[in-house]
Structure 1
Amino acid sequence: KMPKLDEIKEDLAELKSLQESAKRPKVQQILTVEVRKLETELIKERDRLAEQGADQAKPTAPKVSKENTVFTVKITDYAWDQSEKFVKFYITLPGVHTLPSDNIKTVFGARKIELLVSALASKNHSLVITNLMKDILPDSSYHKVKTDMVVVFLRKSSPQDWSHVTEAEKKAKEPKVPKPEVDSSDPSSSLMTMMKQMYDEGDDDMKRTIAKAWTEARDKQATGDFGGML
């Protein structure tokens, strides 16, 4: 029988594949919720296995005091969603609700979030996200502690939807537009090619602007007044 951790990973991979191919908003919403559930379950199973391994390990030497050796673990697994006013991050940390409130701190910038959870299972846990997709309102952002979870609320500066968490994620997933081939031996042909590509790919305003410029250029050429076009 496949280990539970591997089963969760395979289920999660298949759900994400379905999520990417889903077209209807309702289906996308359902799949997003299920993906978050499995991501949380995956984190819990990893933590359970880690604790189980620690319990089974037998010390072979006298214990050394680790009072001055506290490791900081980078948080990389989290789920997120959004409403009209907030972008919300869900960070699963077993036992976090038992800590004093002073052990859980958040710092916000216009496009930055920092979460630090201190002394949880003899480790510090840190989440730092910079270059957020859009501006937030730091003074109106906050966090809440729930059972085994910290939820961070980022107050949007505008009600626009976020397509990604950061600008870097957005750019990484954007299709790269091939550059038009430029014929250096024929500048007018190269300009025509570039103008045509801009016209084909542009919105209505762009098309009107290009058409107007092109008409004016032809009129000047017909009257012999190039007006610095060359």
Structure 2
Amino acid sequence: MNTEELTSDIAELQSLLRVSQRPNIQGWIKCKIEETERELKKLSESQTLNSEPTGSASKPVNAEKSSPSSLPTVKVTNYGWDESDKFVKVYITLKGVQDVNPTTIHHSFYNYGYDITVSNFSGKNYTMTMKGLRDEIVPESSQIKQKQDMLLVMMKKKTEGKKWEQLTKLEYDEKQKRKPKFDEKSMDDDPQASLMNMMKQMYEEGDDEMKRTIRKAWHEGQNKRNTADMPSLADM
């Protein structure tokens, strides 16, 4: 696929985005636009490199030895993150990155993600990619800062004040699925049974720490109430 076809695809996707109404469809189209834009960018850069003059016979050999494209690439997947009312911040650890020439750090922000490359750093290329963010960001107001042994990615929230809770939409959706289901009608009909069902769900789906906490609370509750008709933990 050439650049003209990719450009046409982007234009058509943008037209579809303008007429679409369902949030899920809009989200899918936006992700597809970002993916196609990345592909177009890579193809354009590749064509630019291929069109550059090679010079004398000895120069291409030397250039190949020092070219970032000939270096091994490391994909960085470990990071930390937090958020404020206006920004989502991602912390990527790279020892010594504060001394890197800023011109070797390339980045592109999209509505729901980013691509970062640090070229020829300690004999390697480092790439950091994030897709499917929890919510939309403002690419033109987002930036990267070099800190001591760390890259700070600052993404401007499109909706200020909104709490993301999770960095990606996938993580957020998974967390929502694990949340205990609260049935108000059941609570009105039989409060104790409804609470029991909620605790069972939390116990079955929780991690080891959650299970220990529930067991402790359960035993303490039994001791305080000293009642024989309360179900035992074994029933959970």
Bigger CA radius of gyration? 1
TM-score scaled by structure 2? Answer: 0.46
Question: Would you tell me which structure has more helix in proportion to its own residues?
Answer: 2
